[in-house]
Amino acid sequence: MVRRRVWVWLWLAVVSGGRALGAWAADAPIQFITEEWPPYNYQEDGRLNGVSVRLVQALQAELGRHEPIRLYPSMRAKRILESQPRTLMFSMFRTAERESKYKWIGPIGRDAIYFYQRPDSPLQIHSLDDAKAVPVVACRQAGLVYDTLVAAGFSNLEASAYNSKQVYGKLLLGRADLAISDSPQGVRYLLRQLNLPADALQQTPVQLLASDLYIAASPDFPDEEIARWQAALERIKAQGVLERLYQELD
């Protein structure tokens, strides 16, 4: 009986131009992963939180899915996305270098990454060349920001940090002249977590990168399934869910 059902399913897949296969794939398990990148996705008191986490949970509810969201270190999450099937990772900058590697659902936001300095610093930072000229720039040891800095010709990187606290901690302790890792909203969140005033770090006018934020999907997802997720996202946006989540950051 089982063998007969398998052959029937295969026959339907062939005669329907693969539509039965697509229907099966849409119901197959999905691996949802994210990284520590507040205020979008982060762990607090043992629970996942953040604008993007709550948005993805709303999308899961909209599509009747119940898989857990798992948080991994940034580079491990990226390896999982690139090596394991049916994986969705968020929040991701959609860049030209990444465009063909994944399929995309979004946008779910937009942000930018700036250099930061101490408010008492005498440095005048107005360009990438100014940032390249300081003795030490603190950043994470890997990831999009690090890769962008290296590609831009930075040779003054202190890239031993695993997380934002370590990156900006080096700046606050005077072990770096500049620091770069998070969006302005992320830096504000970090300072609140450290019980520091909002002006404990000064944002420079120098922007390293800016991009829309997306949910990235491993390339094995059928286009029809990506379209289904995109349609669900548009419905949620129309209901004002995404706008309310961002308003809660203010």
Give me the residue spans of the domains in the chain: 29-110+212-247, 112-211
Query: Region 123-151: what's the mean pLDDT?
Result: 96
pLDDT attached to residue 250: 65
* CATH match of 29-110+212-247 with 3.40.190.10: yes
pLDDT attached to residue 249: 74
Side-chain-side CA neighbours of 89 within 13 Å: the count stands at: 30
Confidence of residue 224 (pLDDT cuts 50, 70, 90): very high
The kind and range of the H/E element at 48 are strand 47-49
CA neighbor of 233 nearest in space, from 18, 63, 14: 63
Contact 247, 185 (CB under 8 A): no
Check the CA dihedral 98-101-104-108 and report its sign: negative
Pick among 3.30.70.1050, 3.40.50.620, 3.10.20.30, 3.40.190.10: CATH of 112-211:
3.40.190.10
Query: Region 56-71: what's the mean pLDDT?
Result: 96
CA neighbor of 246 nearest in space, from 29, 125, 91, 121: 91
